[in-house]
Structure 1
Amino acid sequence: MSGTPRFRLAALITAAAAVITLAGCSSTGSGGSGDAQTGFVAGNGGVDTVPVASRKAAPAIEGKDLENKQVSLSDFTGKIVVINIWGSWCSPCRKEAAGLEQSYQKYKDQGVQFLGINTRDTDPTNARQFESNQGITYPSIYDPDGTQILKFPKGSLNPQTIPTTMVVDRQGRLAARAMRPVSIYDMDAILEPLLAEQHS
């Protein structure tokens, strides 16, 4: 059995993914005391929002997508961006995937972009197969070690909670989050008020 550092890292990532899968892919709790710093206000059904005056800039998320093309959050300046953090090994991620794609198709012509962050998949082939099986057409950044996730401000999300969905407003600020699987109805409830803000 190989004892190389690369092998050990892959084994650790795989083991961590297995533990989270057995736990339903998510740990309990939220960002905790950091919520006060990031401005999130607990809402109904586990969807938290940030009042306009308290919103803070989203981090500079970027990387190669699953087709090895460079993509970054800044590519979508001026749009509302739904960032879904997922893994092919995560059962709740599979359950929400079809609804996310349905919401993307519904809102993409209204100035809304969806962007995935695929995490803890040691082989991008698994992630590509997931997207193919689920019919996902929006891009996902391949982030096996969680580098992009850790860019989010402390308290804005729990990196151990997969899936998580973060929503960035048209001004590039964190506006909403759901640290659980989301439905098409959740996305309607999040996106409709943000779309209305352009007229306020």
Structure 2
Amino acid sequence: MSAMARPRPRVAAAAAATAAAAALALTGCSSSGSSGSGDGQIGFVSAKGSNISKAEVGHRQDAPDLSGSTLEGTPVKLADYRGKVVVLNVWGSWCGPCRAEADDLQRVWEKYKDQGVQFLGINTRDPEITNAVRFEQEKGVTFPSLYDPAGTQLLKFPKGSLNPQSVPTTIVVDREGKLAARAVGGQTDDALESVLQPVLAEQKQ
């Protein structure tokens, strides 16, 4: 095209930027981590040889204002769980590693749900809600999940934070509503507990 080509309208440019951000936040279903944004930042500690990153107390960013409806149509907000340690799991019914980790997530949820812990899934890129509901039924998942087919909730995470890096990603939010840890890729129950237990052991402020 020549210099005579007209510039794109601002709306189109903004839409393109949003689409690019969504593509980055929703890197394809993978059981391995990416060289993501968060790990090299001040206050972040990555476990060597793993896909786990942690932020120490005093260096944590606020979790985003996640809200919407669950797969069952019930309104839910992350803020409703303030005072509890929240485990956020980003998943899709189309994702093999998500299916593999579902049993482990359910076991950890059942073990800790009476100890001040709340699990909350974020179902993404499932255009048909029935697929996500079927996934929960087949896997016996009992914790709620936000239905987020377009990835709108995931785009709320602060840039450079312990934000989702792929599907699946599991994020631990501390009692103060701050992003404390992130595990990228499918998790076993032992690995998930190793991330959850230190945050749960922290004293309430």
Q: TM-score when scaled to structure 1?
A: 0.82
Kindly indicate whether residue 169 of structure 2 is the aligned counterpart of residue 164 of structure 1.
yes
SS in 2 for 1:41: strand
CA distance, structure 2, for counterparts of residue 26 and residue 186 of structure 1: 14
Where do 1:1-200 residues align within 5 Å?
A: 24-25=29-30, 29-32=34-37, 35-36=40-41, 39-44=43-48, 45-156=50-161, 161-198=166-203
8 Å CA contact 2:29, 2:95 repeated in 1 = yes
Q: CA deviation at 1:29?
A: 1.7
* C-alpha distance after superposition, 1:167-187 (max 9, x if no partner): 100111000001111111112
2:113 is aligned with what amino acid? K
Counterpart residue number, 2:12: none
- Residues 152 and 174 from structure 1, CA distance in 2 versus in 1: closer, same or farther, beyond 3 angstroms? same
TM-superposed CA distance for 1:33, in Å, is 6.1
- Is the Cα–Cα contact under 8 Å of residues 120 and 144 in structure 1 kept in the other structure? yes
Q: Aligned AA for 1:141? A: L
Instruction: State whether residues 39 and 45 of structure 2, in contact with CA within 8 Å, keep that contact through their aligned partners in structure 1.
Output: no
**Cα deviation 1:128-152 (Å, max 9, x = unaligned):** 0000001000000000000000111
C-alpha spacing 1:99/1:34, structure 2 compared with 1 (3 Å): closer
CA contact 1:120–1:143 (8 Å) conserved in 2: yes
Contact 2:92 2:124 (C-alpha < 8 Å) held by counterparts: yes
Moved over 6 A (4+): none
The gaps in structure 1 that reach 5 residues or longer are 1-15
Structure 1 residues 28 and 168, CA gap change in structure 2 (3 angstroms): closer
| Range moving further from structure 2, 74-83 or 25-34 | 25-34
Q: Which amino acid aligns with 2:154?
A: I
Aligned partner letter, 1:41: V
CA distance in 1, matches of 2:162, 2:193: 21
| Alignment check: 8 A CA contact 2:97 2:186 kept | yes
Question: Identity of aligned pairs, percent?
Answer: 53
1:42 and 1:97 map into 2 onto residues whose CA distance is 24
Question: Contact 2:32 / 2:184 at 8 angstroms: preserved in 1?
Answer: no
- Corresponding residue SS for 2:58: helix
Q: 1:31–1:156: 8 Å Cα contact kept in structure 2?
A: no
Q: Which has the larger radius of gyration?
A: 2
8 Å Cα contact 1:25-1:162 kept in structure 2: yes
Q: Unmatched 5+ residue regions in structure 2? A: 1-22
